[in-house]
Amino acid sequence: MVLIKEDLLPQPASAQTAELVVQQLINNGVQFVALSPGSRNGPISLALVEAERQGLLSVHVRIDERTAAFLALGAAIKTGKPTAVLTTSGTAVANLFPAIVEAKYAGIPFIVLTADRPAATQGTGVSQVIIQREIFGDYVSRSIEIASESLLIETASAREAIKERINSVLSAAERNRGPVHLNIALAEPLVPTKKFIFEHKKKIQNESVITPENISTELLNKKGVIVAGGTIIEYLNYAQELGNALDWPVIVEPPHQCVGSAMVSHAPILLSLHSINLKPEVVLTVGRVGLSRQVAELTKKGSLVISCAVPSIITNSIAKQRISGLFRLPAKQSNKAWKQTWDKAGKAAHEIVQRVLEENPKISSLHVVDCLMKNLPQNSHLHLASSLAARDFELLTSPEINSAFSKGEVTVSMNRGVNGIDGVVATAMGTALSAKIPTFAMLGDLAALHDLASFVVPVSEQKPNITFIINDNNGGGIFSLLEQAEVEDFERVFGTPTDINLSEVLKNLGAEVKSITKISELSSHLNIPSGIKVLVVKIKSRKSEADLRKLIFEEVNKGVTA
């Protein structure tokens, strides 16, 4: 590292603080840090880059703080391990808010590091000073202030006490499964005079303990359905094992992390069937559920709804019974006939859905999703936007499709915490950079426009290998499925067409772009991504996408009978 000042000068407090903070990140197993440029956070940025040079973590620089935050969030979603974002002071800090909100509601361990000016500058009108202390309120489980000047107290015990304070906050991210905030006041000088030194120290991992609780066993030989959702993989795997043990069908919501043979085909459609009785006596929800209207109704109105709640995440609070954690897996029960009724209906529904898609070949979001499900390569990753992309995956997912996706060989993520359409591009890139496996992302044109800045990757940064599939239906297609679809002024306040030539815009931002007009072209472009590639799928009409959905529900209802 090239030092700007004389090596003989003592290391300034700002750099000592930076070294201490970065060492604690390393000790807490943080592998991925995103940062944006700024003078105040400079000492920590430089310390991070030095730690990266020593092979202790990876650093990703982005020009926009909102992008940096979602990038780090994506990496945490994919790895399940805490990641961090670092910004300078002022409005830069406020730009982190959307990703923090998502992290809280999705239960993602996330460390927010904000640089601040010394406390004495508060209220003095000094530039870039805002109230950063506890700015994220209840959205972070811990928030503390560190003042670099305090490190000038040259006693080992004072230093140790500061280290402990930092450590207690950083480790809370993983323990509490959510965001934490460290606001670090750094006084000038802001340039180190000595090389940063780090230890390859690893802390002892605290295993998160889930207390098994019991569920009354007489419930377990009833006709039950399990609904699993959210992003916490141990809960999703548990749902699958429970389904196998009880012969209960499992409805797995996007992101489908545990696709497999026990899961229900085309869940929202089966739940809408009039002609066949699939009404369960017990509904057990595992994790955060309720994406489609049909599943949400089942989990609200089902005769007996029990929720296995993920600790610290709001999960199905209206359930009649709540279990805080997972209960012991019961011995094998036999509800075979019940499970077979669901399987038979699922198979029949699948054939009808495929027929309807073939008979109506005009390209739509549903065709795109069907194509991805059939063609995504083994050991790849897929990030979904929460608008039509996620809903159409939910509608079309079926173990009947014989593909890497249906066999669970494709991992899937989405911003399921609060379903924002913001930050989708950055989050997807974060999953790609941390997963280091071929990554794909599907999103709508508005979500892409919302996060255009995230296509900008500074030249010295590592580019992710990712293919974006943008469903360009010129506006918000999801609104055509909702009750608002019929209102006057629909296009102006809901549809919001922009007429933007996305392909041109994205080419100018440096992406390799291909415009797709036929579904057969799409499958031929789903090879292993190298660099940032975008497939812009041109959809002619949002209304016909919505009509096709309706037709699928009608045809399955006509065709599947007891």
In the complex, the residues that contact ligand TPP under the rule CB under 6 A are: 385, 387-388, 419-422, 443-447, 471, 473, 476-478
Quick one: 63 or 493, whose CB is closer to ligand TPP? 493
| Least Cβ distance, residue 292 to ligand TPP (angstroms) | 14
| Least Cβ distance, residue 536 to ligand TPP (angstroms) | 12
- Kindly write down the DSSP assignment for every residue of 125-183, as one continuous string: T-TT----TTTTGGGSS-EEEEEGGGGGS--HHHHHHHHHHHHHHHHHHHHTTSEEEEE
| Least Cβ distance, residue 302 to ligand TPP (angstroms) | 27
Quick one: 169 or 414, whose CB is closer to ligand TPP? 414
The strands making up 32-35's β-sheet, listed across from edge to edge, are 58-61, 32-35, 83-87, 110-116, 179-185, 143-147
How many other CB atoms sit within 10 Å of the CB of residue 409? 14
Residue nearest to ligand TPP (CB): 444
Residues 504 and 35: their CA atoms lie apart, in Å, by 28
Contact 318, 302 (CB under 8 A): no
| Least Cβ distance, residue 366 to ligand TPP (angstroms) | 11
Quick one: 75 or 385, whose CB is closer to ligand TPP? 385
Report, in angstroms and rounded to the nearest whole number, the Rg of the chain calculated over CA atoms: 25
| Least Cβ distance, residue 415 to ligand TPP (angstroms) | 9
Quick one: 239 or 421, whose CB is closer to ligand TPP? 421
Question: What is the β-pairing status of strands 32-35 and 58-61?
Answer: parallel
In degrees and rounded to multiples of 5, residue 490 shows phi and psi of: -55, -50
Task: Name the nearest CA neighbour of 26 among 209, 196, 193.
Answer: 196
Per the structure block, which two tokens stand in for 417?
């915490």
| Least Cβ distance, residue 471 to ligand TPP (angstroms) | 6
Quick one: 420 or 438, whose CB is closer to ligand TPP? 420
Q: How many residues does the chain have?
A: 562
DSSP-assigned beta bridge partners for residue 263: 250
| Least Cβ distance, residue 3 to ligand TPP (angstroms) | 43
| Least Cβ distance, residue 543 to ligand TPP (angstroms) | 12
From residue 533, how far is each of 26, 468, 470, 520, 524 by CA, in Å? 33, 6, 11, 18, 14
Task: Name the nearest CA neighbour of 179 among 282, 107, 254.
Answer: 107
Residues 237 and 174: their CA atoms lie apart, in Å, by 20
Quick one: 247 or 472, whose CB is closer to ligand TPP? 472
| Least Cβ distance, residue 516 to ligand TPP (angstroms) | 15
Quick one: 92 or 388, whose CB is closer to ligand TPP? 388
Quick one: 303 or 517, whose CB is closer to ligand TPP? 517
Contact 424, 388 (CB under 8 A): no
| Least Cβ distance, residue 159 to ligand TPP (angstroms) | 42
Per the structure block, which two tokens stand in for 50?
């030095």
From residue 453, how far is each of 45, 48, 63, 216, 367 by CA, in Å? 21, 23, 9, 52, 28
| Least Cβ distance, residue 446 to ligand TPP (angstroms) | 3
Quick one: 113 or 470, whose CB is closer to ligand TPP? 470
Q: Which amino acid is at 562?
A: A
| Least Cβ distance, residue 530 to ligand TPP (angstroms) | 26
Contact 253, 293 (CB under 8 A): no
- Please report where in the chains the tokens 């996305």 appear, as a residue: 502
Quick one: 169 or 443, whose CB is closer to ligand TPP? 443
Task: Name the nearest CA neighbour of 151 among 8, 18, 3.
Answer: 18
Per the structure block, which two tokens stand in for 209?
């303990």
Quick one: 419 or 541, whose CB is closer to ligand TPP? 419
Beta strands in 16-90 (DSSP E): 32-35, 58-61, 83-87
Quick one: 70 or 553, whose CB is closer to ligand TPP? 70
